[in-house]
A and B are shown apart, each in its own frame.
Chain A
């Protein structure tokens, strides 16, 4: 499989600034591994603070001498950790890993080629993304502290500069700059994926013959092209508000920190529209590649074609299309007209239909399986299906304006999106890592450690996020640094302790994966060319394109392609 690349070793420079799609895939992969480790550590700090806000921790003070004086986190520090956590997870983990890392790894081969359409552009996208990441980190190491406006960065407070709090000066500016750079990197990457799918298929590989992964990366990239520019435009406007003093998003007569604010006439709602016009498609950018990965892997280990290939193609297309039209469901209580709330609500609910089609398809594929196999990759896919259903169902609650009036900005929303995005999308990344690890490093991940990791993570995911829904029922607000002294939340505190405990346990369990990953890179069992007996071309790049479609597993179960 690697014979072609084993010829003379290129210089270090060439290997770092590589145009080879698999190298770029590994670069994206390691960037998101680094990001996810950072993000998890941040979340554990947050969880600790939420239940023991007054406990002194000496090494907090060692890291943040001002913002954790005496070892007690300030509320601003908590908010800056929260902002960094959300931003890292949404952008640098859930956008990069499922979409950019794995599409670079296998997309060209799956289409019967060896290269992305624009290798140099590909390299450029990665390095731009890395610059964006470094900018984001830079925004948090300033003395004044990191930005505290959350990953949605709602104005007016995010648009008025340093008066609105520590970290809201240069830190928040850098945050917007980082996101702007990220938009450009993602746009270039999407451009590359779309061009590759449209123009670089091997003759004979019709669109309806592509593996489902390719379809989902294709659709996701179209979403990227339609939504990232809007975030870029919004970011541009808010930077002008911050730096030049225009009033796009800041209304007049604001009194901030006892100072009269000079802006006038802008509208914070405008930001919400622009942000969520990007933001909702963005959550589908995070999950659609996972859907493709899951369809692909479930088919492999059920040793049959997907229950309905066509449905698996058109359902994500429908989801993506509808997903462009539902941004208003994040604004139900922002004062939009009840009529538009109703419209957004109906469209939001209708996304349930194609989602259900997909779920039934996955189940149908396994029920009709020729022979079911359960390697770790398959387990993570089944885990994905479970978490996707759980997380999707709570979406249907939140999609109704009357119910959302209560749930908005409570822990219920946090539970919803962690179930579906934090957990389901991440399960797809785990599945893909186990499945394609041989193509990444020529070795296998350890299956026993993998299964242990899967079962503990699966239990941990439910143990952690299911109770969080109940905290939401009790009205537990979101984005508060400390709710220990609210009377009405005293009853929830034991639950919060449980959540923090499981969070630490779940975090510890991930060490199994990290250990498995790094030890297997160097010492894993060498992989054969097609370890899972897959039928698609990434396992057999010189193979023919089957006329029976990409998932032509013959039912005898002994074939390789």
Chain B
């Protein structure tokens, strides 16, 4: 909070010029009508929005995780721990790798190395997709082995947390695919850096969130 209270500009200038109408910003896509005062401002705006979204997601997961703690604390008798399915480790690995590779892709993009960016981005997106598919396989695997949502609170919370995470991943993968689409279908048009950057930031966030969930599953639940 303290950082927010620092004035953005050294001191208020005596006369401040009025921005053009609709100068406040845009939705992150440049529609070429002069709505964006500068690419920089809009980029930071989109980033802030994503950070706020991350706060909201964190609160959702925190609520679910504390519900888990309270539910178990209030009634430990019907809590039957769920063995961590082996596939989960492979999914985790895929997610970590995808995060690293996408980050490298972002760096390559900023360095202007287009071919490297394309290769890394495709690899990262593929790994991300793998994670999601792996999760789906994992749910069917669990169900086949008799772990259902209703069966006991530990498995109920396992499903709820992994579903909530997967719902986020679906949204984030939408972002990755969008960048991929732009990269493949319209390579001539300069890429919107904001979408690329916030997709990577959000992906890292989901990666960290997943590691926290894994820690809960492995050590506690």
Contact = CB atoms under 8 A, between A and B. Distances in A.
A204 B49 CA distance: 22
B153 A204 contact: no
A210 to B, nearest CB: 11
A522 B143 CA distance: 63
Interface string A4-21: 100000000000000000
A191 interface: yes
Contact of B59 (A203, A226, A236): A226
Interface stretch (A113-121, A371-379, A386-394, A454-462): A113-121
A202 to B, nearest CB: 6
A111 to B, nearest CB: 9
Contact of B150 (A190, A203, A225, A244): A244
A229 B56 CA distance: 6
Contact of A113 (B1, B23, B55): B23
Interface string B28-64: 0000000000000100110011001101110110111
Interface string B64-75: 101100110011
A176 interface: no
Contact of A117 (B14, B45, B153): B45
B184 interface: no
Contacts of B150: 244-247
Given A199-B45, A208-B5, A270-B74, A229 B63 contact: yes
Interface string A538-554: 00011011010000000
B134 interface: no
Contact of B149 (A199, A205, A234, A244): A244
Contacts of A369: none
- In the complex, which of the residues B8, B18, B52, B57 has the most CB atoms of chain A within 10 Å of its own CB atom? B52
Chain B interface residue bracket vs A: 35 or more
Interface string B1-35: 10011111100111110110111111100000000
Contacts of B27: 118-121
Chain A interface residue bracket vs B: 35 or more
Interface stretch (A260-268, A343-351, A439-447, A472-480): A260-268
Given A114-B22, A195-B45, A206-B7, A547 B60 contact: no
B60 A233 contact: yes
A195 B48 contact: yes
B77 interface: yes
A451 interface: no
A115 B22 contact: yes
A270 B24 contact: no
A116 B26 CA distance: 9
B204 to A, nearest CB: 19
Contact of A207 (B5, B45, B70): B5
A543 B156 CA distance: 58
B160 interface: yes
Given A113-B23, A209-B12, A267 B55 contact: no
Contacts of B23: 113-115
Interface in A232-249: 232-234, 236-237, 240, 244-248
Given A118-B25, A237-B160, A204 B12 contact: yes
Interface of B: 1, 4-9, 12-16, 18-19, 21-27, 41, 44-45, 48-49, 52-53, 55-57, 59-60, 62-64, 66-67, 70-71, 74-75, 77-78, 149-150, 153, 156, 160, 164
20 contacts: A118-B27, A119-B27, A195-B45, A195-B48, A195-B52, A200-B25, A201-B8, A202-B18, A203-B8, A204-B12, A206-B12, A226-B55, A230-B59, A234-B63, A236-B164, A237-B160, A246-B153, A248-B153, A265-B75, A541-B18
Given A191-B52, A225-B52, 19 more contacts: A4-B21, A114-B19, A115-B23, A115-B24, A115-B25, A118-B26, A118-B45, A121-B27, A187-B56, A191-B56, A201-B8, A229-B57, A240-B149, A248-B71, A267-B74, A270-B67, A273-B66, A273-B70, A544-B14
